[in-house]
């Protein structure tokens, strides 16, 4: 949440927009369906970042596909497993 708020504030050159994003994400995070959707979206973003790094840094598509799979795996571990751990503590 913090990384997304910082990125939005940096991208739009507005600390107020970044702070509003952070507050909005914290308030929205209270609803379970939103947390599940956010975890899946962030996992997909990890996969896309892996694909982007693989295709931008190397000449062939296979490296992009492998790094996309690694990104999805890392995103799953970080987001969905962390979400399950947090829900288990409640």
DSSP conformation class of 77: I
**Could you give the number of structural domains in the chain?**
2
* Residues 47 and 82 grouped into a single domain: yes
Give the pLDDT mean for 1-10: 86
* Residues 4 and 40 grouped into a single domain: no
Higher pLDDT, 87 or 29: 29
**Model pLDDT for residues 7-32, shown as the tens digit of each residue:** 888 988 989 999 999 988 887 777 77
* Host domain of residue 36: 31-90
Are the C-beta atoms of 78 and 40 separated by less than 8 Å? no
* Residues 8 and 43 grouped into a single domain: no
Token look-up 């503590």 returns 89
* In the predicted structure, residue 78 carries a pLDDT above the cut 70: yes
* Residues 77 and 87 grouped into a single domain: yes
Are the C-beta atoms of 68 and 48 separated by less than 8 Å? yes
């Amino acid at each position: 949440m913090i990384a997304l708020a910082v990125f939005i504030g940096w991208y739009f050159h507005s600390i107020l927009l970044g702070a509003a994003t952070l507050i909005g994400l914290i308030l929205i995070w209270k609803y379970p369906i939103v947390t599940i959707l956010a975890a899946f979206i962030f996992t997909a973003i990890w996969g896309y970042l892996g694909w982007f790094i693989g295709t931008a840094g190397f000449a062939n598509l296979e490296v992009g596909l492998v790094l996309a799979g690694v990104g999805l795996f890392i995103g799953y571990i970080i987001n969905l497993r962390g979400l399950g751990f947090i829900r288990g503590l409640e």
